[in-house]
Structure 1
Amino acid sequence: MNLKPLADRVIVKPAPAEEKTKGGLIIPDTGKEKPQYGEVVAVGTGKVADSGQLLEMQIKVGQKVLYGKYSGTEVSVEGEDYLIMRESDIFAILD
C-alpha cells in the first residue's frame, strides 16, 4: 500500500464484518453492520498546534483501535478497503 496520511490522519483496515450470530445464524449482506474496530496500517506525522509546535501521534502502526460508527472516509486501494480518519476520531486502543 502506498498511502501516506497527512498531519493527524490515520489509515485503518476495518475488521471483517461478522458472518454469523453467536447463535449460529448466518447474517445476510444487507443485515451486516460495519465493524467499529480495526488495525492501524499507517499514521501521519502529527498535528501542528497553534504555536507551531508539532504534536506527535499517540497511535502507532499495528495497534488495534476502536472508532465511531460513522468515523472516517472509506477508500479502496488495490481491492482492499480502508478508512482514513483523524486521530481524534479514535476512541480507544484495544489490547
Structure 2
Amino acid sequence: MGIGDKLSSFSNNVQEGAKSTAMTIMHITLRLITGLLVGGTLALIGQELIGYGTFALIFATVVVVAVIMKLLSQWSFAQILIFDLIVVLVGMLLRMYILVAP
C-alpha cells in the first residue's frame, strides 16, 4: 500500500465525514425549524386563550420545541417534511374555520 493509496483513503474518509456531518446538521436544523414553528404557534394560541405573560409564552415555546425535537429525532427527512405538510394543512383549515365562523 503506497502513499497514493493512503492519501486516497484519507480523502474518501474526509468526504464521508463531511457528508455525514452536513446531513446531521441539516436534520437538526429541519427539526429545530419545525419545532419553533409548531411551538410558537401553540404558545401563541395558549396565550390568547389563557392570557399568560411573556415568560410563560417563552417557556411554552421551549417545552414544545424540546418535545418536537425528541419526537422527530428518529424520523427521516421525508417523514419530517410530510409532518410539516400536515401541520400546515391543519393550520390552514383552522384559519378557514376562524374566518368563516360567525
TM-score, with structure 2 as normaliser: 0.28
**Larger radius of gyration between Structure 1 and Structure 2:** 2
* More strand by percentage: 1
* More helix by percentage: 2
TM-score, with structure 1 as normaliser: 0.30
Higher relative contact order (CA 8 A, sep 6+): 1
